[in-house]
Amino acid sequence: MTHDFPLREQARRRPPHWADQIIRPWDDALYARLEPFRTHVYWTDQGSINVFRVVGTQHPDYQGRSWRWFLEGGKRMDENLELLRVNPDYYADTVAKRPSMYYLSMDGTDWYVGADGNHRTCIARFLFSHDGRTMLHGVHLTDHRFDHELRRLYLRLQELAREADPAILVEPINRPIGREDTPGWKLDLFEPRIRYVDPAEGIEEILDAEGARRTIGWIREERGRRGWFRLRRRAS
């Protein structure tokens, strides 16, 4: 049975327009597809986040629930609301949160709660909505970025190669190329590329986006000029 803490009472009287928005799941499958094309990962344990851009969570218990439901029925919500009553300055402090709060993003706009911080995120959203605030400070942020254009070219090249000859290899490769850091933050840099191997033509190349475009154009030209795809099939 939940207790009527002031924040709950405020939310019932004047629910924010987003109160019934659904807490989305972090998409592990999407991340796995994008990871070979990552360009950099930024991490800090002293970051600030717009709590209204927290759209989901890694925790399966809260995925698919609304923020209103979470405030009313989160299994440790009463405990966290009591801590808010005892220490109302906690959510305004700029020092690192203890215990830590973790957030993940794949685009720097939509954020998801990671290892810890679900209940406090929900509280911050309702509290800040009432108080006219936005930013929560002193939290862990991990922001992943990807080369979406290179991935699009990879998928197209893979499709064309599959039609031409199953022996052609098209695979993403990625290597770390550097790190910038000082205490409390780091930026890991990566170089995504496409490995293209055509045994019949004796070709092995590591392609960037421009190289991938040229290879796609060459395959299309050869297909149109020589019926290359049909000849390759008969030869096999």
Over residues 76-110, the pLDDT tens digits come to 999 999 999 999 999 999 999 999 999 999 999 99
Please determine, for residue 210, whether its predicted confidence score (pLDDT) is greater than 70: yes
What is the pLDDT, as a whole number, of residue 163? 86
Over residues 172-207, the pLDDT tens digits come to 999 999 999 999 999 999 999 999 999 988 999 999
Q: Which of 25 and 219 is assigned the larger pLDDT?
A: 25
In this structure, the chain runs to a length of 236
Q: Give me the phi and psi of 33, to 5 degrees please.
A: -70, -35
Categorize the per-residue pLDDT at 3 as very low, low, confident or very high, splitting at 50, 70 and 90: low
Task: Determine the Cα–Cα distance for residues 208 and 195; give it in Å rounded to an integer.
Answer: 9
Residues 125/83/103/180 CA torsion (nearest 10 deg): 120
Over residues 143-177, the pLDDT tens digits come to 999 999 999 999 999 999 988 888 999 999 999 99
Q: Which amino acid type is present at position 131?
A: D
Please determine, for residue 234, whether its predicted confidence score (pLDDT) is greater than 80: no
The encoded tokens of residue 152 equal 């699009």
Return the axis-axis angle of helices 6-13 and 118-131, rounded to nearest 10°. 60
Beta carbons of 94 and 47 less than 8 angstroms apart = no
Please determine, for residue 2, whether its predicted confidence score (pLDDT) is greater than 70: no
Over residues 19-43, the pLDDT tens digits come to 999 999 999 999 999 999 999 999 9
- Per-residue pLDDT averaged across 51-68, rounded? 97
What is the pLDDT, as a whole number, of residue 233? 45
What is the pLDDT, as a whole number, of residue 1? 46
Q: What percent of the chain shows pLDDT beyond 70?
A: 93
Beta carbons of 146 and 33 less than 8 angstroms apart = no
Task: Determine the Cα–Cα distance for residues 181 and 162; give it in Å rounded to an integer.
Answer: 42
Which residues are CB-neighbours of 227 under 8 A, at least 6 positions away?
A: none
